[in-house]
Amino acid sequence: HPLLGWREVPVRDVLGARTGLPVHVDGHARALADAERLFGRAARGSRSALHLFAGNMVDAAFATHDEVHHGPRSQAGAIAHLPLAGGTEPCACGRSGCLQAELSELTLCRRAREAGVADGTDPARVVDAAAAGHPVAVRLLLERARMTGRAVRLLTDVLNPESVVVTEIGVVHRPDCLAALRAELDEERAATVAPTSFPDSVLAVAGGSVVLDVLYRDPLSVSPELN
């Protein structure tokens, strides 16, 4: 986890030892893809679905036939350093225009501070400013939504999913941002894109879905009394 400076950290073992509870760990994009599969509405019934998560971290997940792909060592969906058309933001890797650098909420909040829109690192303040009619806040969110649309276009060109779910704060809360994202796609693909089913509880639902996925796949394995 580059933002936390973690590498090869045994998260499950550490948390299990501290809490005395069984712990299950997964990436948030895959967890939310599982959540949509288990009890969401945005991708229900789809034989294949792409989930793009644009928060402080930017990553993706791909599911086919109710199975989220993990890949070797659970690295599937690590898209942070894919190049984004039109991107100019310098990245820590030394290049410019990487998805992580361009779409991160940290970048959005920094641009909002520089423009005098909002202080701090909470992207919800930018959304609130836009709702209050601040034109620069609206512009920043629409620009980010358009760039998110370009990321969706890149990924759908490769994976061609039946449905696309996007977790991005502007797209989730503003119809104009969703429209700006869809405008970057052709008409057929635009119709497949929907915001997350969990706009007000994204990370809580992600955590819950990791546990529920284990429970539903093998109910007896999670009950020590039955082993």
- The CA distance from 50 to 61, in Å, is 6
Determine the Cα angle at 178 with ends 177 and 183, to 5°.
Answer: 95
pLDDT by residue for the chain (227 residues), tens only, comes to 778 888 889 999 999 999 998 898 998 899 999 999 888 888 888 899 999 999 999 999 999 988 899 887 777 888 999 999 999 999 989 999 999 999 999 999 999 999 999 999 999 999 999 999 999 999 999 999 999 999 999 999 999 999 999 999 999 999 999 999 999 999 999 999 999 999 999 989 999 999 888 888 888 776 655 44
User: Domains of the chain, with CATH numbers?
Assistant: 11-226 (3.30.420.40)
- Residue 125, token pair as written in the block: 């303040």
- The CA distance from 54 to 44, in Å, is 21
Total-model pTM: 0.91
